[in-house]
């Protein structure tokens, strides 16, 4: 028989919820909202009645009745014990209160995280504030006369409090609730009640918004609901394809697949009328956010391009009004005489001169066409003509920025870091007049470009440098390709100038770029006997491991894969090569909440061993651990997590830096024996093995093959099914399938 029976015990649900909301870890709460210390080391869990399962959410407060028993369950082979209140009744007292808690932290002096959460757990808080009941408020642990004064003075208005309560009651995520309050303030509630599907624009999942709308009385025939379906379908289509445009037929077809029923005709126009989408052409639509970003980018680009010489900044007036083609030609001649031991080709000279004369331009060319040489020459001309002009070099990927800095001898950084350093309160402003060079620009997506143009000065000069045949941005939209088609000055380099023009790698890359199906010569048994570019038709990853070891293993060769899954995908190859090197090496551990040593497992389900190559999967802006998505390093030291050190090991990066790995960085690491072709863009290695797995046949294309082959500097081995080369060439470049409006917007604005 149970020794304890709870009657009206007030509890708050924690983060751990099991079995669809039936079991939840809880804390008991005192009358003043403070958490009551537990009398037992065992965690306390409530087994909620089945009828309440849909309401149980982290942060919600309940009154529960029922017996308390000691129960157990098995997790990962260990039996664990807990105290369980088997609730016969559970009364919902209040929602999470997290939105109000966050608002109090940000707007009331002296109220931090602990006190704000204690306040919102008290069900009488609003009543006491409205009545200015200082005595009751002072009875809450942690409150003083000063904090009571601040709370009464800064408490949200009646309308804003309704908005905050409304968002809490409907479990709108905290970050999204904050955005809604910041954007709409007191107007949020009537707008949400009029059209709840506006929440889609704030990042709330469609399913949650649809449930919310249904509770408010909307049904699938209401224009708000129809518009919401259309906006969601268009958003998903954009995320999956990278296109910012969806045609009417695809919109209707995908909407019916989503709803598993027929949907009203003209749903795109309905979404336009609801302000959720924008019409572009007779039968095509864009989600409002994509349309807005493309409009802003096009507007900035055109204004920068058409800006009169000297307009917008005093420094611009000093030199832009003084240059013409003749002066740039003379500057280039001086640069050639002092810094080049060869003569530029006519198309290269034209690219240099045009890039200095045009406020905005693009330069595209394949491997060996001299993009780096041209970039140095452009900078050399600028140094002569506008020596005081500040210049910035950026790229999407960290390794691309590193290569850019090495090739030009000037600092370069990722676009993300460039934005982070200059955008926001307290950050140094950019000068009124500057030169921005964006390398590997084919990787540039719409969101990154939109963020750039929001804070670049009017008198900015921009040069986009890239290869239009390389794979498309991971994010949606097209920038580099759109510029090429928009009428913005664009210089295409076609002639190869490097001495490796006759290498097998270059010949294959050229054929891939031109859409010619060519198979490299068959690989020999030993890698030493293979041509610099060869094909091994084996699909056995163990054979790949043998060749990898022969090539020198870690640090000597990189394996590039179109996909992560399958026998020749990134995940499996990482496992096999880690095993090839040896699993007896020391393993990286972390300390769990109970101070026990636990093996660290990456998001891919892999473990990290001493000596493993490691890939950074997200940008990390820590001053002492400044690494970028796509950076590679070697795990050269491991620290015992049970010591007092906050670091778990040391990474030796490709640029020689030793980076100590803290918990935040640890969550951004994975094995790096093999990487996807997308992760490789912007990087090069002496030797590359490129897998051709059969399970990649649906996504491989001409651009992906070309990008993979051009990552290799001295040796490329294609490994797998050669039919994928033919499939990729037949499919053509992916840029042909990605639909956007940026080029047309620039052209249209220019015609006005």
The b/e string for 198-235 (b: 16+ C-beta within 10 A; e otherwise) is bbbbbebebebbbebbeeeebebeebbbbbbbbbbbbb
Backbone φ, ψ for residue 637 (5° rounding): -155, 145
- Least Cα distance to 476 among 298, 619, 294, 247 occurs for 294
What distance in Å separates the CA atoms of residue 618 and residue 669, rounded to the nearest whole number?
8
- Helix extents (H) in 387-440: 398-408, 415-422
What distance in Å separates the CA atoms of residue 100 and residue 535, rounded to the nearest whole number?
62
Asked if 383 and 412 count as a contact pair (C-beta separation under 8 A), the reply is no
- Least Cα distance to 49 among 93, 92, 96 occurs for 92
Q: Determine the distance from the C-alpha atom of residue 153 to the mean position of all C-alpha atoms in its chain, rounded to a whole number.
A: 40
Asked if 96 and 15 count as a contact pair (C-beta separation under 8 A), the reply is no
Helix (H, G, I), strand (E, B) or coil at 575: helix
Helix (H, G, I), strand (E, B) or coil at 433: strand
What distance in Å separates the CA atoms of residue 291 and residue 299, rounded to the nearest whole number?
12
In the numeric block, which tokens belong to residue 177?
A: 């609730």
Backbone φ, ψ for residue 718 (5° rounding): -90, 130
Asked if 691 and 560 count as a contact pair (C-beta separation under 8 A), the reply is yes
pLDDT (0 to 100) of residue 65: 93
Helix (H, G, I), strand (E, B) or coil at 385: helix
pLDDT (0 to 100) of residue 98: 78
The b/e string for 418-441 (b: 16+ C-beta within 10 A; e otherwise) is bbeeeeeeeeeebeebbbbbbbbb
DSSP 269-337: HHHHHTTSEEE-SSSEEEEHHHHHHHHHHHHHHHHHHHPPTTTT-HHHHHHGGG--HHHHHHHHHHHHH
Tokens 């000691």 belong to residue: 70
pLDDT (0 to 100) of residue 122: 85
Fold of the 507-751 domain: Rossmann fold (3.40.50)
pLDDT (0 to 100) of residue 501: 61
pLDDT (0 to 100) of residue 13: 87
Residue 327 CB burial class (10 angstroms; 0-12, 13-18, ≥19): middle
Structurally, what CATH architecture does the domain formed by 310-359+373-393+413-493 represent? 3-Layer(aba) Sandwich (3.40)
Asked if 391 and 376 count as a contact pair (C-beta separation under 8 A), the reply is no
Based on its alpha-carbon atoms, the radius of gyration of the chain, rounded to whole angstroms, reads 30
Q: Edge-to-edge strand order for the sheet containing 613-616?
A: 658-661, 649-653, 632-638, 613-616, 669-671
The b/e string for 579-600 (b: 16+ C-beta within 10 A; e otherwise) is ebbeeeeeebbeeeeeeeeeeb
pLDDT (0 to 100) of residue 76: 65
What distance in Å separates the CA atoms of residue 684 and residue 367, rounded to the nearest whole number?
11
What distance in Å separates the CA atoms of residue 134 and residue 143, rounded to the nearest whole number?
10
- Least Cα distance to 680 among 629, 642, 720 occurs for 629
The beta strands (E) that lie in 569-673 are given as: 589-591, 597-599, 613-616, 620-622, 625-627, 632-638, 649-653, 658-661, 669-671
Helix (H, G, I), strand (E, B) or coil at 33: coil
- The ranges of the chain with pLDDT < 70 are 1-2, 19-21, 53-54, 76, 94-96, 171, 173-176, 497-501, 592-595, 623, 644
> Among positive and negative, which fits the CA dihedral 420, 424, 429, 433?
positive
> Which CATH number is associated with domain 5-93?
2.40.50
What distance in Å separates the CA atoms of residue 85 and residue 65, rounded to the nearest whole number?
8
Tell me which DSSP letter residue 143 carries.
-
Q: To the nearest 5 percent, what fractions of the chain are helix, strand and coil?
A: 45, 20, 35
Asked if 137 and 129 count as a contact pair (C-beta separation under 8 A), the reply is yes
């Amino acid at each position: 028989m149970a020794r304890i029976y709870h009657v009206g015990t007030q509890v708050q649900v924690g983060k751990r919820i099991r079995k669809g909301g039936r079991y939840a870890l809880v804390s008991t709460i005192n009358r003043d909202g403070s958490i009551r210390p537990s009398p037992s080391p065992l965690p306390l869990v409530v087994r909620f009645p089945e009828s309440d399962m849909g309401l149980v959410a982290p942060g919600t407060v309940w009154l529960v009745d029922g017996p308390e028993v000691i129960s157990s369950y098995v997790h990962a082979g260990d039996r664990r014990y807990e105290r369980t209140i088997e609730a016969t009744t559970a009364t919902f007292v209040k929602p999470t209160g997290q939105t109000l808690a966050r608002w109090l932290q940000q707007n009331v002096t002296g109220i931090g995280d602990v006190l704000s959460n204690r306040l919102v757990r008290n069900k009488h808080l609003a009543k006491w504030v409205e009545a200015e009941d200082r005595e009751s408020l002072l009875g809450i642990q942690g409150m003083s006369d000063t904090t009571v004064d601040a709370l009464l003075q800064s408490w949200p208005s009646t309308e804003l409090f309704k908005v905050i309560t409304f968002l809490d009651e409907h479990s709108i995520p905290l970050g999204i609730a904050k955005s809604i309050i910041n954007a709409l303030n007191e107007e949020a509630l009537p707008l949400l009640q009029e059209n709840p599907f506006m929440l889609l624009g704030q990042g709330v999942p469609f399913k949650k918004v649809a449930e919310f709308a249904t509770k408010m009385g909307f049904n699938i025939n209401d224009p708000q609901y129809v518009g919401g379906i259309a906006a969601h379908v268009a958003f998903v289509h954009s995320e999956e394809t990278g296109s910012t445009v969806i045609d009417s037929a695809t919109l209707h077809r995908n909407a019916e697949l989503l709803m598993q029923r027929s949907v009203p005709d003209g749903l795109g126009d309905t979404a336009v009328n609801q302000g959720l989408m924008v019409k572009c052409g007779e039968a095509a639509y864009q989600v409002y956010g994509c349309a807005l970003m493309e409009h802003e980018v096009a507007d900035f680009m055109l204004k920068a391009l058409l800006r009169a010489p000297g307009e917008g900044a005093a420094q611009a007036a000093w030199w832009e009004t003084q240059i013409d083609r003749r002066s740039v030609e003379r500057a280039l001649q001086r640069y050639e005489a002092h810094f080049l031991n060869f003569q530029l080709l006519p198309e290269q000279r034209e690219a240099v001169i045009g890039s200095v004369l045009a406020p905005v331009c693009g330069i595209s060319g394949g491997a060996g066409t001299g993009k780096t040489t041209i970039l140095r020459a452009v900078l050399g001309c600028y140094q002569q003509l506008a020596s005081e002009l500040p210049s910035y070099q950026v790229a999407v990927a960290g390794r691309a920025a590193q290569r850019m800095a090495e090739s030009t001898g000037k600092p370069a950084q990722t676009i993300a870091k460039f934005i982070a350093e200059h955008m926001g309160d307290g950050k140094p402003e950019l000068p009124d007049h500057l030169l921005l060079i964006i390398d590997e620009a084919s990787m540039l997506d719409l969101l990154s470009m939109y963020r750039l143009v929001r804070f670049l000065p009017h008198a900015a000069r921009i040069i986009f440098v890239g290869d239009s045949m390389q794979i498309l941005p991971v994010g949606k939209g097209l920038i580099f390709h759109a510029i090429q088609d928009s009428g913005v000055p664009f210089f295409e380099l076609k002639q190869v100038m490097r001495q490796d023009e006759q290498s097998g790698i270059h010949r294959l890359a050229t054929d891939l770029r031109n859409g010619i199906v060519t198979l490299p010569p068959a690989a020999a048994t030993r890698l030493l006997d293979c041509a610099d570019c060869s094909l091994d038709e084996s699909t056995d990853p163990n054979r790949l491991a043998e060749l990898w070891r022969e090539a020198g293993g870690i640090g000597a060769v990189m394996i590039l894969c179109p996909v992560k899954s399958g026998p020749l995908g990134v995940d499996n190859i990482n496992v096999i090569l880690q095993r090839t090197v040896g699993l007896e090496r020391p393993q990286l551990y972390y300390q769990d909440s109970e101070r026990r040593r636990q093996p660290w497992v990456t998001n891919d389900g892999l473990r990290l061993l001493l000596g493993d190559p490691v890939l950074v999967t997200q940008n990390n802006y820590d001053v002492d651990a400044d690494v970028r998505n796509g950076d590679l390093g070697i795990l050269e030291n491991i620290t015992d997590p049970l010591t007092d050190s906050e670091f778990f090991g040391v990474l030796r990066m490709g640029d020689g830096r030793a980076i100590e790995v803290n918990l935040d960085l640890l969550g951004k690491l994975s094995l790096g024996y093999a990487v996807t072709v997308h992760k490789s863009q912007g990087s090069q290695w002496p030797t590359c093995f490129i897998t051709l797995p059969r399970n990649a046949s649906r996504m491989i294309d001409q651009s992906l093959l070309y990008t993979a082959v051009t990552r290799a500097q001295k040796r490329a081995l294609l490994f797998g099914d050669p039919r994928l080369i033919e499939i990729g060439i037949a499919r053509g470049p992916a840029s042909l399938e990605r639909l956007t409006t940026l080029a047309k917007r620039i052209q249209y604005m220019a015609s006005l």
